[in-house]
Amino acid sequence: MKNKLALFLAAAMLFSGCGKEEPTFTATAGEAEPIVKTATLAVVGDIMVHDYQYNEAYDPATGEYDFMHNFQDAKKYFEGYDLVMGNLELTFGGPERPYASFPCFNTPDSFLDAVKDAGFNLLTTANNHSMDTGKAGVIRTLDKLDEYGIEHFGTYRSQQERDTILYKDVNGIRFAFLSYTYGTNGIPVPEEYLVNIIDDDVMVSDIREARKNADVVVVMPHMGNEYETYPRDIFVEWADMMFEAGADIVLASHPHVLQKMEYRTIDHGNGAHDGFIIYSLGNFISSQTTPPRNASIILHLTVEQIADEAPNVKEVSFVPIWTQFRNAENENEFVVRSVYERLNLSQFEKDSQIRKKDQIRLEEIHHETASFLLGREIPLSEMQEEYIFYK
């Protein structure tokens, strides 16, 4: 009996610590770790082609338009991302009619060579310029996107297409995509299915339907007041309506300048989780070269889903960008540039590539993007190529 008691006390002392760390226990042998799925998105704002751009792209020797230089600097920020998205704010109405920009955009088809090469694989086509070349232009634009293998949503060729929500499985996370525009610049829409116009009841119904079949619902509304750097109450109310109906991510456009972004805590009945909104992504490329319309970002989102929990927008970051309009020789040259990369050139390189006034403008853009979006002053001495956006 004494021997048994001694063994019991020794065991008790061993597991009570006696100055040692308590043992740690792992999951029961054979118990599977929860499955973690992630999807990554790279998103930009308005993709536009004004006459300055297609005139610069024109080669009189061949009679062709070459836009391939537009995104050569920027496309590295799309590499490795599952979805590369933007707002295609133009139409491909065809060469039978004159190429044109504002107020009615008709863009050379070869612009799609640059868009495809950059890595874009998903575009919203619902905006105030959707009807610029009429019904035929809406349909031809979609046909050209299909030809290039770029998926799209927001405008449609038939009622059946319009009623078929775009779903995409991204690494096991099921996304739904919807987009709407406040209007079409007064151009009539002969069939309602051609362009998704913002209508409260229709939009809420669509989002609720998408919610039934998706883990993540992304809505890209074309809304806001042009050139205003803040969202008015009506647009905040529209965004609230989208989230309440079932949206997880809202990526808005139209003002042509950046507006604020924020995380949203939402619960669609499957647990509270982080959603996200940016009220305006600004211009990605255009000929709107006056401040602040030539300052923008490439937005990066990481969505994470653990087991069957509601997916979270786990991380948001952004790369400040600038659309260079003219080179150091004052010749038109449209290229989307990283602000960080341009400001980190040697002075000799800056002078040989960038006009003096644009060198000054680049420093302003850093403030207009990084400091503005993060809500705190970031001096150039602390400049980063990409910034993490915290809650």
- The secondary structure of 13-35, three-state, reads HHHHCCCCCCCCCCCCCCCCCCC
Compute the residue count for the chain.
391
Closest listed residue to residue 40, CA positions, set 250, 247, 282, 304: 304
| Separation between Cα atoms, residue 21 and residue 310, nearest integer Å | 36
Contacts of 177 (CB under 8 A, 6+ apart): 122, 124, 153, 165, 166, 167, 168, 218, 220
pLDDT tens, residue order, the chain (391 aa): 434 334 333 433 333 343 434 444 444 555 688 999 999 999 999 999 999 999 999 999 999 999 999 999 999 999 999 999 999 999 999 999 999 999 999 999 999 999 999 999 999 999 999 999 999 999 999 999 999 999 999 999 999 999 999 999 999 999 999 999 999 999 999 999 999 999 999 999 999 999 999 999 999 999 999 999 999 999 999 999 999 999 999 999 999 999 999 999 999 998 999 999 999 999 999 999 899 999 999 999 999 999 999 999 999 999 999 999 999 999 999 999 999 999 999 999 999 999 999 999 999 999 999 999 999 999 999 999 999 999 8
In this structure, the number of other CB atoms found within 10 A of the CB of residue 283 comes to 29
Helix (H) and strand (E) counts in the chain: 11, 17
Whether pTM > 0.85 for this model: the answer is yes
Burial of residue 239 (number of CB atoms within 10 Å: 0-12, 13-18, 19+): buried
Q: Are strands 283-285 and 273-278 parallel, antiparallel or unpaired?
A: unpaired
